[in-house]
Structure 1
Amino acid sequence: MPGLFKTGCATRGWLLAVRTWLLQQTVGGRSFAALMGAALIAMLGMPINASAATTGLANLPAVMPAMNCAAVMSMDLSGVTDGTVTITSATVLPAGTVVGQNTLPAAVCDVKGTIGPGASLFELQLPTQGWTQRYLQAGCGGLCGNLSVNAPMASTCVPVTNGQIAMAATDMGHEGGNDGSWALNPQTKIDFAYRAEHATAQVSKAIINKFYARPAKYSYFDGCSDGGREALMEAQRFPDDFDGIAAGAPANDLIVQNTFHHAWPAVINLDPKTGKYVLLASKLPLIHAAVLQACDSIDGVTDGVIDNPQVCHFNPQSMLCAKGQAASTCLSQAEVNVVREIHDGATDANGVHLEQPVSREWGGELAWSLFVPATDAGPSGSINFVLPFLQYLDYFNGSNPSATLSNLKFTIEGFLKTVPVSSYLAATDPDLSPFARRGGKLILWHGLEDQHITPRGTIEYYEQMKYYMGSDKVDQFTRLYLFPGVAHCGGGNGPNTFDIVTSVMAWAETGTKPGKIVASIVDTNGQTTRTRPVFPYPAVAHYTGSGSTDDAANFVASTPSSDPHVDLHWIGEWLYSPGYESWCQTHGSDLICKGGNNWSSYRKVPTHWNNN
């Protein structure tokens, strides 16, 4: 019998079905759960929890609610956070209900409400058929503006897949408004910057405490992209909120990313004489094939994925058209220049890097269609990310709704004029000592084919953590994983299905240190066609030389004697240092911010910021 309880969700399906059926039955008009009590429900949950324990999770008994769902409406939540909390609905949703991108695996009490003084919305889902005392808060991507209780990096995380975890999310202070116009409200700016996630954690944990008559034993945060920034903001500013944090592809250097980083591939792709785009999306497959031919086999396996693009030294000049060669099979000199500059990243006229050197890693060229248009009339998709910042978000106060890409100057002076707002919007402080002291665990991860955010930024943050805190201390609570062939927050050409959340939970709950994480390629029929291990940075997977290269079992970790050389020398490297944070309040229609004392001391541009 014990052999039946394996970690895989499919092998547990029959048990979940029996358990759910029992919980739905009635005897003499009373529910089976009410008759048998929470103890039996917990007992029914034990085999599932025991299977979870094989992955390093604590074996926590399931707990039944101490009140009905409707009673949440009358909860007194005064003093829980720094604003007024209003519960607007509390409704039981049965198993199978589709909520956003999720199908609920078990019934929940779905709670929605607002948190003042702004208009932050939150949603909290409370399991009604057995809760294993865990809380997971899901981050929000882009400029947010929506509620999404979704944890994409928990594909096989048992408490998530069996519906035994309380989960919540916030809209970050506004609904819609992808143009950034919501930033005209100073309180909404604060909510988006750092307050909304913190307030949601405070309110959700207070409701959990009352609903189950006990607090969550463990609390977690899972976010990618801006959700990754939110994750690091929590670790930096509110270290007591969560026991474990998964921060994927973090947009933690938010201002630089949404100005110089995203504007660059649009600006350098425009012919200044004709105003037309030079490199078009039709050439991307050709470029990608050339990159693979040059670098795919470096890792010892030719599989369409570059495992370590840091050692790929592809030269776009090799694709220059020879005399008489068909233009569809090669690149013009202008196209060669654009490809090189997209890869290398934003610079000023003298070659000073205005973002981390290597803006997009080799191997992800197919995803460049994000910003490389299909026709020479464009437009580049990058504009959609840049304009909200140039028009509304790149100001402590004020706006410029008519701003265009031409307002952004790729100069040192332009850089220093643009980045001050980082002091309250960015999450780049590498000193996580308070989070580490309370036992918090952090997993950073990034896809190496990311077309939105450079993996070098996440590497830089990790390296700065080690610089300021010491490598040994960082190793006690942080891991970094770089996933070959994975695009922004998923997708891409490589194994892109993996579970980060279980590793965070196991580390927080039982001290199980994260090792390899197995990533998979799953086809449209749900069949796994390839698995690969990903090891903590700087280790990379090395093929043993025997067995299928589509099987993770045939790879081992190869760790260099020292961290691989990654050039992180650029004008904004001081942003990744302690003391940058400012805290803000509203004063009428203005934002008043204090702190960020290191800003003035770093404004001076060192003489060694040059082309070398």
Structure 2
Amino acid sequence: MKRLLVLVLLLGTCGFASPGGLADLKPLPPVMVCAEVTGLRLPGVTLTSATVAGATCEVRGTIAPADTIVVRLPLGGWTQRYVQTGCGGLCGTATINYGQAAGCPVVEDGSVASATTDMGHQGQNDGSWAAGNPQAQIDFAYRGVHETAVTAKRIITAFYGRAPRYSYFTGCSDGGREALMEAQRFPDDFDGIAAGAPATNMAVQNTFHHAWNVLANRDSSGRAILLAAKLPLIHNAVLAACGPVLDDPRQCHFDPFSLVCANPATCLTAAEATVVRKLHDGATDARGRRLEVPVGHEWGSELEWTLFVPATPTAPVASESFALSYLRYLADPNHARPDYQLSDLEFTVASFWRTVLPSSAYMAAMDPDLSAFRRSGGKLLLWHGWNDQHIAPRSTLAYFSELRDPARYARLYMFPGVAHCGGGQPFDVLTPVMAWVETGRTPGSINGVRAMSPAAARGDYHWVGEGLYSHGYQTWPRAVGDKLVTGPGYPGGHAR
């Protein structure tokens, strides 16, 4: 059906392509008053308010049991598009955030309908919301985003008398994981998806990756070895060795021990150089077996390492809170461990599987088989900044490398100098997806960066968990009392 719509547009039956490559769709007015939306009867949904906010009707409600949603409906003319936005971190707030869509014409002119969700819980981004609350875990993993798509489309259809012609999803970080989860589990929800810096392997990302960021930099007394004041020194040395702009940091082979000397003001100690090497390389066990995708942090990203390199030896760092939130409340879905400390995590292969498997089966978005999404006509734009300090850029390269026949439906963009989710550098990843879906225009360069070919994306991504890039590992658990139980299918009754 989606391909048929694209063909019709190309033939001109439903309009011509606009200058931005988008279909020229007729704006539609509402067929009901904003305040009447709360009177809609939708299964499992309570609509609590519908108020005029500027040029939109803003609808708020709850999808049972606890998914808060926000839907915005243009009052001045809806161009038949729906855009759902993702949520970062462990979420807990329902705020529509278009992220890297600066300049997208139909976002800028307010003619798209949009929605988002808090993914089944409110506040407390420390993970404690998951304790004894299996439904909140399921909603956060995949259900909340999907049910929001279903509900928002029903509201849109009632409000305008017509279902969306095209539906899109855009998100970064956990929003990127949500985006891929949609393509993998619910391939018919969206025609086009922009997935930025996706936390595909959250169960690894928020355990071994972030814990390594902290523990690799601690001495025997628990004090930080490398401090933030040394990061500019390291960064300048990397640029001197590999060039001022690292278009592909994989080609940079910097040796941090080249900075070791006796002058602490201008050099590193051997202990500091060891930490730099460990932070770059990523988590391993004592035998050097990789417990995450090789290279945790790319050369050239050193100025962003303040996320986990403190200013003083005893100052807290964000990576520790990320890891503890997951290890205490999400890694083992049925057994909260509020007293868990990073020192309890063993960097061994056996510990890897004990820690990662219980939640990976429903939390990770690592299935490379997007054939159902491709058959439905879906288009996927993956993107990542090389300077990402939160999520390893090569985790996205590794996932892209595992996709089956990606040239037909997927594109990957790796942005030099860009930190996590853009780091304040605006560019538009949404319009290229829309143009690809609506008029068949294959995405070109974005912000001066061209799409990376599947061949160029390949590399040495061997690590302990690489088998998780497989089809069929994902389960569909259900909540039974205060326990998460693996079930045979999606509890909402939708096909797998």
| TM-score when normalising by structure 2 | 0.93
Structure 2 counterpart of 1:166, one-letter code: A
Structure 1 counterpart of 2:307, one-letter code: L
Count of residues in correspondence between the two structures:
473
Deviation at 1:595, TM superposition (A): 6.2
Name the counterpart of 1:525: none
Name the counterpart of 1:211: 159
Q: Does 1:177 align with 2:124?
A: yes
Residue by residue, what CA displacement relative to the aligned partner does 1:12-70 show, whole Å, maximum 9, x if unpaired?
xxxxxxxxxxxxxxxxxxxxxxxxxxxxxxxxxxxxx98x7112100001100001101
Deviation at 1:585, TM superposition (A): 0.6
Larger relative contact order (Cα-Cα within 8 Å, sequence gap ≥ 6): 2
Structure 1: stretches of 5+ with no match in the other structure: 1-48, 79-83, 95-106, 297-303, 520-532, 540-561, 597-612
Runs of 4+ displaced beyond 6 Å:
none
Name the counterpart of 1:10: none
Name the counterpart of 1:444: 382
Q: Does 1:354 align with 2:283?
A: no
Name the counterpart of 1:505: 434
* Distance in 1 (alpha carbons) for counterparts of 2:193 and 2:421: 16
Contact 2:93 2:122 (C-alpha < 8 Å) held by counterparts: yes
TM alignment of 1:56-71, pairs within 5 A: 56-71=21-36
Tell which structure's C-alpha radius of gyration is larger: 1
Name the counterpart of 1:487: 419
Name the counterpart of 2:238: 291
Deviation at 1:565, TM superposition (A): 5.5
* Distance in 2 (alpha carbons) for counterparts of 1:217 and 1:508: 11
Q: Which one of 401, 417, 423 corresponds to residue 354 of structure 2?
A: 417
Identity of aligned residues (%): 56
Structure 1 counterpart of 2:18, one-letter code: A
Name the counterpart of 1:160: 107
3-state SS of 2:318 partner: coil
Deviation at 1:564, TM superposition (A): 5.9
Structure 1 counterpart of 2:315, one-letter code: G
Residue by residue, what CA displacement relative to the aligned partner does 1:185-226 show, whole Å, maximum 9, x if unpaired?
111001000000000000000000000000100000000000
Name the counterpart of 1:262: 210
3-state SS of 1:329 partner: coil
* Distance in 1 (alpha carbons) for counterparts of 2:257 and 2:369: 42
* Distance in 1 (alpha carbons) for counterparts of 2:396 and 2:328: 27
Q: Does 1:563 align with 2:453?
A: no
Structure 2 counterpart of 1:67, one-letter code: M
Contact 2:400 2:457 (C-alpha < 8 Å) held by counterparts: no
Residue by residue, what CA displacement relative to the aligned partner does 1:156-202 show, whole Å, maximum 9, x if unpaired?
11110000000100000011111101102111001000000000000
Q: Which one of 311, 332, 350 corresponds to residue 251 of structure 2?
A: 311
Deviation at 1:275, TM superposition (A): 2.2
Name the counterpart of 1:389: 326
Decide whether aligned partners of structure 1 residues 57 and 195 sit closer, same or farther in structure 2, where only a CA change above 3 A counts. Answer: same
* Distance in 2 (alpha carbons) for counterparts of 1:251 and 1:564: 18
3-state SS of 2:265 partner: helix
Structure 1 counterpart of 2:42, one-letter code: L
Structure 2 counterpart of 1:418, one-letter code: T
Deviation at 1:566, TM superposition (A): 2.2
Name the counterpart of 1:127: 74
3-state SS of 1:114 partner: strand
Contact 2:397 2:458 (C-alpha < 8 Å) held by counterparts: no
Q: Does 1:91 align with 2:38?
A: no
3-state SS of 2:369 partner: coil
| TM-score when normalising by structure 1 | 0.76
Name the counterpart of 1:196: 144
Decide whether aligned partners of structure 1 residues 565 and 587 sit closer, same or farther in structure 2, where only a CA change above 3 A counts. Answer: closer
Contact 1:581 1:595 (C-alpha < 8 Å) held by counterparts: no
* Distance in 1 (alpha carbons) for counterparts of 2:212 and 2:245: 26
Name the counterpart of 2:4: none
Name the counterpart of 1:523: none
3-state SS of 2:82 partner: strand
3-state SS of 1:169 partner: strand
Deviation at 1:389, TM superposition (A): 1.1
3-state SS of 2:130 partner: helix
3-state SS of 1:136 partner: strand
* Distance in 2 (alpha carbons) for counterparts of 1:277 and 1:354: 22
Name the counterpart of 1:100: none
Q: Which one of 95, 109, 119 corresponds to residue 148 of structure 1?
A: 95
* Distance in 2 (alpha carbons) for counterparts of 1:87 and 1:395: 34
Q: Which one of 396, 400, 403 corresponds to residue 462 of structure 1?
A: 400
Contact 1:480 1:536 (C-alpha < 8 Å) held by counterparts: yes
Q: Which one of 192, 211, 225 corresponds to residue 244 of structure 1?
A: 192
Structure 1 counterpart of 2:377, one-letter code: G
Q: Which one of 341, 344, 352 corresponds to residue 407 of structure 1?
A: 344
* Distance in 2 (alpha carbons) for counterparts of 1:268 and 1:211: 55
Q: Does 1:585 align with 2:487?
A: no
Deviation at 1:271, TM superposition (A): 0.5
